[in-house]
Every structure is written in structure tokens, then in C-alpha cells.
Amino acid sequence: MRSKLFIISVLCMFATSINYAQEVATPTVERGLHKGGELMQVEMHGGKPFMDVLREKQHMAHISERELEPHHLSGVLWVANGTPQPGEMHNRTAFAPMDLQYVKIYVLMKEGLFEYQADMHKLEMLAPIDFRRKISDDDQFHRAPIAVVYVIDRKATSNVSNEDRKNYAYLQSGCISQNILLYCSSEDMASNIVFDIKKEELAKKLKVEPGDILFGQAIGYRE
């Protein structure tokens, strides 16, 4: 009987050690994310008065490498182009001509490449690859804990002419990037717009045309 108990105890200890090792080895992408990539609930109150935010808004030349706190990661993405309630598709935080979503938001972190799913406020991992160094020579793009890239969504705008689609996509992505700049100003964070990015490798991964990749934006804390 004692030998059986001993064997059971050893097996339990072994199973516990495996679980612990798996938890330790889990990519840090879970930091700030709930199960399935869901982001934490957005804090809708606080922040600076709007006129102060406008006055203090600036492109920051230096972004810290410090990881974003979970509430800031969630806040940045929600203000970018989030929805009032989970599951809603309209009344986004960023303007979109004719209420069509011309732009997809992809998020680049050291843990991988993600797509922001605004309707459920979550990040969907596409590849466990750090693309920040692959698509830009800008050191701020490398240092920033997250970078977002704006890409034209042709499927959602299939009935729009090519010329109008690109013009409207730039308009919408401009509104999105401005939302992020204002949020960063309110939270004493930093953000830089990066136009000179290498598009070919990312385009292959996303299965889009290189010309559909518009520009990027580095986001982090002020150094």
C-alpha cells in the first residue's frame, strides 16, 4: 500500500513539474491578455483635459523599450479603432468613410505578429515572429514595445473602386493614428509615425499586396 502511495506521489510531483515548466515556457504574449487573446477591459474614465492633450501632443524622438502595462496595451488598441460594446461593428472610435472598414490593424511585438479584432477587442496571433526588425530600419520601431501597421482590407471594401479605396484607407488610418497620438499624449506615452517600412516580407505573411501596406506607428513610454 505504501509503495503504491509513493508511486502516486511521485507521478503527481512529475505532472506538477511539467505544468510548471510549460507555464514558464509560455510566451510572454499572455502578459496583458486573457484567454484567447482577449484584452483587459478598457478604463473609460480619467485622462487629461482635451485641450491639454492637444497642447502636449508630439511625435517623440525617443521611445523606451519598457513593456506596456496591460491597461495601456488595451487602451491603445481600443482608442485606435475600437467598438463601444463587444460584438458591435459600428460607431467605431475612428472615422471611416461610408462606415466601411478600409483598414486592418496589425500589431507587432517581440512575442509575435497579431491582428487586432476590434469587434471582440482581442488580439489574434498570426505568427510567433518579431517583425519589428524585419520591416523597418528605424531604431524607434525596433525599441518600441508595440508597433502597429495599417493595411488596406480589400475584402471588406470590394465594391469600392481602387482609387477611392486607397484614398479612404489613408483617411481612416490617419484618423486611427491620430487617436493613438492623442491617447499617448493623455497617458504621457510616446508615439512615432513610420512611413519608410519594408513591405515585401510582411505582405507575404499577410497574403496581401505590398502596396496595400500603408505605414506603421511605434508606441511606447517616453524615455
Looking up residue 61, the CATH number of its domain turns out to be 3.40.109.10
pTM above 0.85, yes or no: no
- Please state, in angstroms and rounded to a whole number, the distance separating the CA atoms of residues 80 and 62: 21
Does the residue 103 lie in any domain?
A: yes
Range in 64-73, 88-97, 183-192 with the lowest mean pLDDT: 88-97
The pLDDT of 208-213, averaged and rounded, is 96
Q: Does 43 have pLDDT greater than 80?
A: no
The predicted structure's pLDDT at residue 22: 36
- Calpha distance 89→81 (Å, rounded): 10
Q: How confident is the model at residue 61 (pLDDT cuts 50, 70, 90)?
A: low
| Of 62, 106, 96, nearest in space to 214 by CA | 106
Confidence of residue 138 (pLDDT cuts 50, 70, 90): confident
Whether 88 is covered by a domain: the verdict is yes
pLDDT above 60: residue 110: yes
Give, rounded to a whole angstrom, the gap between the first and last alpha carbons of the chain. 63
CA distance 87 to 95: 18
- E strand or H helix that includes residue 12: helix 2-25
Tell me if 6 is assigned to some domain.
Answer: no
What single DSSP character describes residue 82?
-
- Residue 125 CB-density burial (10 A; 0-12 exposed, 13-18 middle, 19+ buried): middle
Percent of the chain with pLDDT over 90: 61
**Within a domain: residue 157?**
yes
- Which residue's entry shows cell 469600392? 160
Residue predicted with more confidence, 103 or 23? 103
| Dihedral-angle region of residue 74 (phi above 0 means left; psi in -120 to 50 means alpha; beta otherwise) | alpha
The yes-or-no verdict on residue 223 having pLDDT over 60 is yes
Residue 2 clears pLDDT 60, i.e. is over it: no
> Would 8 be classed as within a structural domain?
no
Mean pLDDT across the chain: 83
Residue-level pLDDT at 125: 96
The boundaries of the domain holding residue 104 are 28-221
Contact between 123 and 37 (Cβ < 8 Å): yes
- The answer as to whether 109 is a domain residue is yes
Is 93 part of any domain? Answer: yes
Residue 17 has pLDDT above 80, yes or no: no
Structural domains of the chain, count: 1
Q: Would you say residue 107 lies in a domain?
A: yes
DSSP H or E run through 56: helix 50-56
